[in-house]
Structure 1
């Protein structure tokens, strides 16, 4: 009995002491709102080895205060969102060849440096919302498309409408999962991110393909295609990314482009598109949407004005990716089977952009020659010919069946 009374007394004194300490902190650090963390004394997180820690959740400390209660979470600091190794390696084989400091000047602003980057302020710690994720996943980074946003053209006359962190957007069709109220965390759980996985769930973890749908009844579709190869309605694509370097800042006059993170550079693009993305083979060996990681060009304005040589092609690289623009429907058969441009096999007879004559070093953006897919491979010409041959009886039969089904629905809706 005496031990029980003593325990209650100690707990009460501890609570009083915690309240007193918190009250002392709040004289300068006024918090707002209450979360699960506000029941603890400030020193639980902000005191270590007799020293007060101003930011106990930073990557430099491996978020030691957070991981005391959330063990293993420090692994996020060794994964892509923190290290950004893929971006650094891309710059090393492209823009760093002409400017060793390029990454720090233009690419270093978005990366996870503390738990608060995703989970909010100390007094409003919470699971990240879609808006929290889009603090970094904006512009050309996958994530904006989920809410129906695509990057606008770079000229200042197009910088209007909604804006986030200095980025304005085109209003596009959002993903059906976003419209249903699903957050990024529904498919990208913390455990999977700590393990370096892109997601914690795949499409078929929630969806069972309806075998009565013609496309689902084709074995090649179900075995060789990612679901989002057909169900991605659109994707932002940037063809020809130009970085213009101004050693003399006065030479910027006349370039009416959106300012970038570094005053030495301006950025623009040859072409931005938001239609159905091209297709290739991803690292899992399945047909997947692809887009230019960057077809990267560099111009030193001062040198170009003195000696010419603008728009130097540094690298032309593509990536297989998942556009977050899922819809129930898909393109018709000929959207893939009779569309060589979608596989970067554009014939000369269909070419309308004359990029080689424009001094861009590529015969076409939609031609595989001179380009590479860094996390997979391009679709081979032989495989495309086999897939699209009108002599293929299965393709001929199913394409006719598909169009008959479409025409039936048109007739029904026209009565």
Structure 2
């Protein structure tokens, strides 16, 4: 009898130790605690997978510790993915590891270039990686992991504060890592970074009885999706070019957090920032998500190691809309069909991938253009040849001037490329990062969104330009100053303060005016002439001698760097030609300006004016 009671008490104790609110059922295994959890996928083959098929662990254990031994919290993390997703999708997994979403090659090379640690060509990635395919323009055969920074050693190409800046700050947005643990940035690593949806506040909304619905950093539900929302993409695409937030018309404010809420509190933050709401991209307003334009190859990777996103990009505006003289191909720039587009006669329809909404896609060849559109695209045909569509149709662009970054070498901090812990699938989680980097604080001089500048992009076309990595480095050891507001000079001799081309993802049916682009010095890259750089520094001595908006001078000399190979400001001849049209606009108006012009130079123009004056006498 004593033995019976002892066994009964032991079993009861084991059950209570496992979960005070659940009783173990040998027939249901993990579901004894995770009662109500969602089936992860209904896809054939995946629907039959058990918990341990994906998560590992022990499915017949009778206590939580044993059940979770050797368990992978996130089976899609790239550290364990070969044994999970890769067992059925090996090509997709191998390609993903070569994608820019995994390597961050463009962000790394651009930052290091502006810290004077290398040229524009990508040589480093998050981790060592080799290409599966080679030979395409803008690709390399392999990349090595970026170095770490040791402040006790002299600064060099392999020992740069810029690498520490990347490891502690910028490199949280790659699929080897989880998202930053704050509202708007919660997400998982690996495939789940895109394919498992997170809400902005990162709380669980499903039926699993074992998951605390108030705990942060949880997926919305235990479900895979192929229908990625704009919010999901925005969990990463809110820094740098800020295309994710711009697409929704969100522009960060200076921190005011107004208007107030109904109870008088300030508005909450997303991505660590307060936001103003501007005009959203017309595609967003129409109901389109990022995946309606961007292809699987662009996001999953295709086996090539691309050095910059412009080389990985396959979609073009003309793919869907054509030009005034040519029909849309409905194919990518690499001749792959866009399967959510369909042509019937002269009508092209796009079916959105998330909700099946059918949208008419305007075709420029058959469209009756407005007076302004006719002048811009037909009468001045060179616009279509020499300019990106977004140059005119981007209503605004985010401009964050003067990135002031402070590194404190007395405070070790997390390194997004070095994780710890027994569960390898959680080593990209912020809480598990090894403190192999140092603490950084970021601020800026000012932000703008109106009248973004223009320049020439890597394709040789006129493009919108925005401030890039405009770093002023301050380095301290506690309260001891080491470096104050230092800027760098690139290996090409330009300032490490940068401007770069961008497609801002703020497209509007109404374009920028002819006068804005042809008469505004800021648009030419010459700056507004208002910001006094010296008076904004405590000692009145700025480390640069140009205002932050100014990346070229009147003679066409480049002042700021462009980290995209082939991208540059306008030269003097181009600026003179653009400005000359602006002068003509004052008298002739945009509808009278044609592609060739009647006066190729000032001498000819003056002769024409004199003749007109003589005839008027």
Q: 1:85: Cα distance to partner? A: 1.9
TM-score (ref. length: structure 2): 0.53
Give the structure 1 partner of residue 236 of structure 2. Answer: 136
Aligned: 1:291 with 2:488: no
Q: Give matches, 1:11-410, under 5 Å.
A: 23-30=28-35, 32-34=37-39, 35-37=41-43, 39-42=47-50, 43-46=52-55, 54=72, 55-74=74-93, 75-94=95-114, 97-98=160-161, 101-113=164-176, 114-120=190-196, 121=219, 123-127=222-226, 128-140=228-240, 141-153=242-254, 160-193=266-299, 194-195=301-302, 198-207=312-321, 208-209=363-364, 210=367, 212=369, 213=373, 214-217=375-378, 218-246=380-408, 264-301=439-476, 310-314=484-488, 315-346=496-527, 351-356=529-534, 358=536, 359-365=542-548, 366-368=550-552, 369-375=558-564, 376-390=567-581, 399-401=590-592
Deviating more after overlay: 282-291 vs 361-370: 361-370
Deviation at 1:394, TM superposition (A): 9.8
Measure, in 2, the Cα distance between the counterparts of 1:304 and 1:401.
Answer: 63
| Aligned 8 A contact 1:304 1:310 in 2 | no
Count of residues in correspondence between the two structures? 366
| Larger proportion of helix | 1
The CA deviation at 1:381 is: 1.8
In structure 1, the gaps of 5 or more residues are 1-19, 250-260, 403-415
Following superposition, the deviation at residue 299 of structure 1 comes to 1.5
Change (3 A) 1:332 1:22: farther
Whether the aligned pair in 2 keeps the contact of 1:238 and 1:294 (CA below 8 Å) is no
Give the Cα separation in 2 of the matches to 1:392 and 1:156.
42
Q: C-alpha separation between the residues in 1 aligned to 2:582 and 2:523?
A: 21
Residue matched to 2:338 = none
Where structure 2 has 5 or more consecutive residues not aligned to the other structure, the ranges are 1-24, 58-68, 116-158, 177-189, 197-218, 260-264, 322-362, 412-432, 489-495, 537-541, 553-557, 594-617
Quote the Cα distance in structure 1 between the aligned partners of 2:232 and 2:27.
Answer: 28
Alignment-derived partner of residue 254 in structure 1:
none
Shift in Å, 1:264: 3.1
Matches of 2:99 and 2:42 in 1, distance apart?
Answer: 27
Match of 1:5 in 2: none
SS at match of 1:374: coil
Q: State the secondary structure of the residue aligned to 2:532.
A: coil
Alpha carbons of structure 1 residues 296 and 335: separation in structure 2 relative to 1, 3 Å:
same
CA offsets, 1:47-100, max 9 Å, x none? 69xx97624322124444324444522212211111112222334345663465
Flag the 1:157–1:183 CA change in 2: closer, same or farther, 3 A.
closer
TM-score, reference length from structure 1: 0.77
* Aligned-residue offset at 1:367: 3.4
Rounded to whole Å, the distance in 2 between the matches of 1:22 and 1:81 is 41
Distance in 2 between the 1:165 and 1:392 partners?
Answer: 44
Name the residue aligned to 1:407: none
Shift of 1:278: 0.9
Q: Give the distance between the partners of 1:263 and 1:156, measured in 2 at CA.
A: 29
Distance 1:87 1:227 in 2: 25
Distance in 1 (CA, whole Å) between partners of 2:26 and 2:98 is: 35
